[in-house]
Amino acid sequence: MELNRYFDHTLLKPDATSEQIKKLCAEARKYEFASVCVNPDFIELAKQELAGSIVNVCTVIGFPLGAMTSASKAFEAKDAIARGADEVDMVLNVSKAKEHDYQAVEEDIRAVKQACGKTLLKVILETCLLTKEEIVECCKAAERAGADYVKTSTGFSKGGATPEDVALMRQTVGDRLGVKASGGVHNLAEAQAMIDAGCSRIGASASVVVMEEAAAK
């Protein structure tokens, strides 16, 4: 896979403006990134800005805490898809994961997957809050629930992706699911480390920096 196609070019800051989203989309169009990842309120703008390109529009659900009800997440996902989202990144119920109630974790994910239908679903684990065993069990729950990807992080907690966690997730899901590394990828070396560890997608706001660094080499 070409380096550019690994990237979900991301802007999820609460104070993001329409002009910043337009810039994000212009950059994604230029580099032909896999997607832009934006908050749900910007789906229609991103879809408009990316019309005619190969770049998908990705949005986040239950973000950033994952602590809302499954019904509210499912509604949010349906609404996002109706407004043009091509991919959905949901935050699982971290509290249930910490309580080792993996059936509840699975049911939460399944409710969103049913709402998504054929739309790509990535499940954010928030790995910085989980033990290695919990990461493994959440990956298994996501797979049982029909998710398409597991993802490390929101970028809004105390830590982001690490190569070690990406490798553990890849080892757990094999080639059956995608693995997205998100949070903490600032340069080419860090991106390459995630790819070497087994990720198939990278969520980053520094996507352009990485591409410019790669071009300079």
Nearest to 31 by CA among 184, 190, 210, 173: 210
Q: List, by residue number, the catalytic residues.
A: 89, 151, 180
Give the predicted TM-score (pTM) of the model. 0.97
Ranges in the chain, pLDDT < 70: none
Tokens of 111: 């409710």
Q: Provide the domain count of the chain.
A: 1
CATH number of the CATH domain containing 71 = 3.20.20.70
pLDDT digits (tens, 9 = 90+) for 77-86: 999 999 999 9
Q: Residue 74 in contact with residue 90, Cβ under 8 Å?
A: no
Separation of first and last alpha carbons in the chain: 18
| Structural domain that includes position 85 | 3-216
Question: So what's the pLDDT on residue 1?
Answer: 77
Question: pLDDT of 185-198, one tens digit each?
Answer: 999 999 999 999 99
Helix (H) or strand (E) run with residue 207 in it: helix 207-216
Q: So what's the pLDDT on residue 217?
A: 87
